[in-house]
Structure 1
């Protein structure tokens, strides 16, 4: 008895579900075509305006077009508007766009063809202005992205063993400036190439140049030493400043200042060599990641004096500022948590990000240094003491 009852119930449910499906339209009349067409071109695309047909069952206007030799694209515009945008074109040249008025019954009008001539696509606009220059351990890529387009910048380099080109991970840019460095190369001539792409699958030509990267090594931390000056912060909880460069990122092998004891949060150390610095890696405290005493804003000051003198340094200053024996090598903001969570609420991805260490570049125009003063200008928790676990510096010992 159970099986027939189940079948009857299922059949009834199916019948009820089918009865609730609304048919968009039974009117199979072909709609009229769009008329009075005008075109306004922009970078990589065009706006097409038109007069809609007087068809009562019109639903939308469809544009069908090829954006490059291999790929077609379609865009739609509701009958509430008289403009459709076509974009993603690979070059600045003439393209044919076919327009259809489409009814609620999915019936197309006769085709109407219009010619567009997009301005130079944004990915090419970026590519034509890119400059490759030598950097420490690699190459720097600089250029402008005035329209803030979403583009990918690709760097390739010739492999001296295979003579083929190896590609680095693309850099995805949507800001008004392209400025990044690719590292990991020796200070010998390397043939580099750069090209750009966009989200539509268009690729620019590759620009090639041969450059010799500047020498970059990890500075020997066994040569570092504490150079305590009178305005440096008082140590808290036994976390001596020497632990800031002892090679360990584990607690308690870090630097911690004493709450309320110092007007500034800072420490000073010698490099044991004179070096043209290129970058540094900073490890913050995982316990309390993105909170409490971890550095949010900080400044790296350098001095090439044999015995730099103490002096009060400003909490806010621009790179290149000179105060006494010290020059601002760079003012930095620790990156926001990958999760987007507010301070003191770090999740597993945020903790993993902090634990790996974060790289910061030093301006290539910064002068050589023998001593470093690390100043925490603001902590994530807004407290008057600071902590960090470890720092590693890279550059060229002179």
Structure 2
């Protein structure tokens, strides 16, 4: 049988409640007594018009302005809002209660614009406007367009640019179609402070090009019209290229288990040096092996970095450019696990010769140049998580490095790797390609 217990307390034996508990109970009772409608009301004085914001300074910058202000001492103010027009369309920008400045950008021209600043309450009540005048400096898309310098190169054209504000921009080459309309040839996406943009694979004939610069607000510069005739260039003939290992080079035919290659931990699809010029640059691959991977086993002859391979192009070329494709991670689909990370080559040298010494020394070689891999986005942290979509295009296009324009014609190339993006003591690649003007 269950028993019910009723405990009664006399005045002398009331239960003791700590002060924090009493405070919490009072708060709960107070909240419940306010009613459901009160709980749904905005925080603050909902019916009051907030006080005016006080503007302290206006700093005009490229394509925009920074407006600094003092937030009114008003508990009813939730945020500060700027309202202005760009190309006839109303634009709004909010500033937090906890900041004292607003960055306004995206203006297409360098001229005066009126900006209305409001204090806005928690119930979205606006103060009277405080109107200021800004006069943005020349926007980045226009100033960059003014610096473009277009010139013919082997197999294409190039344009150099300067982008000191590191704005996110698109530089597009256009060509007129048969109907006389401009059509896109190629577009560069960049936020670097300067660089060179190439359009490749063109015939050696006279072209009429248009070049425009566009920002992320779709503001577009005037079309720069140029005439250019690319120099003759062709891809080095794969059928002539062979590995030409010299003492000190990677060969992977070490006498650990006879003359078998040793690619410890590299996964499937890995091959020796000659797979670097099999003509396939990215997935899906029809050939196997489809990428090269330097042996990770410490203690092997010539393991670690720097490491080198020597290539016989089969004939002399006045080399115009060298293209490197990072390691591929799948034979069926394009993946980006190794783009600007792990075994992706970061710094290297190219050497050239027509009569290399058989002792492996560099005495008979000419240094073509020292090179460094730089992301299109400019990000320096290794790993795919730091790649932009523009960075990931490298998996398809490869990284292109231009040679000095006064380079002589050479048959033998030595590729010497010093470091990788992932700081690994070994490197990998799907393909290496050389372009230039073949010599008899």
TM-score (norm 2): 0.69
Deviation digits for residues 75-114 of structure 1, max 9, x if unmatched?
A: 1223444433322211111111122222232222223322
| Aligned match of 2:3 | none
Note the C-alpha offset of 1:32. Answer: 3.9
Is residue 372 of structure 1 aligned with residue 413 of structure 2?
yes
| Aligned match of 2:345 | 296
The 2-side partners of 1:49 and 1:386 are apart by 50
Note the C-alpha offset of 1:36. Answer: 5.8
Deviation digits for residues 115-167 of structure 1, max 9, x if unmatched?
A: 111111122222211211212322212111112122222221233x3432221
The 2-side partners of 1:186 and 1:54 are apart by 68
The 2-side partners of 1:293 and 1:107 are apart by 54
Q: 1:327 aligns with which of 360, 367, 371?
A: 367
Note the C-alpha offset of 1:208. Answer: 1.5
After TM superposition, where is structure 1 displaced by more than 6 Å over at least 4 residues in a row?
Answer: 16-19, 352-355
Q: 1:199 aligns with which of 196, 216, 219?
A: 216
Matched-pair contact (CA < 8 Å) for 1:302–1:370: no
The 2-side partners of 1:353 and 1:31 are apart by 50
Note the C-alpha offset of 1:184. Answer: 2.6
Q: 1:261 aligns with which of 301, 312, 318?
A: 301
What are the ranges of 5 or more consecutive residues in structure 1 without an aligned counterpart? 1-15, 314-322, 342-348
| Aligned match of 1:64 | 83
Matched-pair contact (CA < 8 Å) for 1:33–1:101: yes
Is residue 40 of structure 1 aligned with residue 45 of structure 2?
no
What are the ranges of 5 or more consecutive residues in structure 2 without an aligned counterpart? 1-34, 254-259, 262-270, 331-336, 376-381
Mark the CA change 1:177 to 1:199 in structure 2 (over 3 Å): closer, same or farther.
Answer: same
Is residue 134 of structure 1 aligned with residue 134 of structure 2?
no
Mark the CA change 1:283 to 1:56 in structure 2 (over 3 Å): closer, same or farther.
Answer: closer
Note the C-alpha offset of 1:395. Answer: 1.9
Mark the CA change 1:23 to 1:370 in structure 2 (over 3 Å): closer, same or farther.
Answer: same
Note the C-alpha offset of 1:24. Answer: 3.7
| Aligned match of 1:317 | none
Query: How many residue pairs are counted as aligned between the two chains?
Result: 362
Q: 2:400 aligns with which of 360, 369, 372?
A: 360
The 2-side partners of 1:293 and 1:151 are apart by 29
Equivalent residues in 2 for 1:31-180 (5 A)?
31-35=50-54, 38-50=57-69, 52-53=71-72, 55-67=74-86, 69-159=87-177, 161-180=178-197
Note the C-alpha offset of 1:242. Answer: 4.3
| Aligned match of 1:397 | 438
Matched-pair contact (CA < 8 Å) for 2:209–2:227: yes
The 2-side partners of 1:310 and 1:381 are apart by 30
The 2-side partners of 1:338 and 1:152 are apart by 22
The 2-side partners of 1:254 and 1:115 are apart by 59
The 1-side partners of 2:98 and 2:428 are apart by 59
Mark the CA change 1:227 to 1:366 in structure 2 (over 3 Å): closer, same or farther.
Answer: farther
Note the C-alpha offset of 1:65. Answer: 0.6
Deviation digits for residues 312-354 of structure 1, max 9, x if unmatched?
A: 45xxxxxxxxx6422234434497553459xxxxxxx9xx989
The 1-side partners of 2:353 and 2:142 are apart by 43
SS of equivalent to 1:230? coil
Deviation digits for residues 282-306 of structure 1, max 9, x if unmatched?
A: 4555469749995634635342534
TM-score (norm 1): 0.76
Deviation digits for residues 185-210 of structure 1, max 9, x if unmatched?
A: 21111122222222223222121111
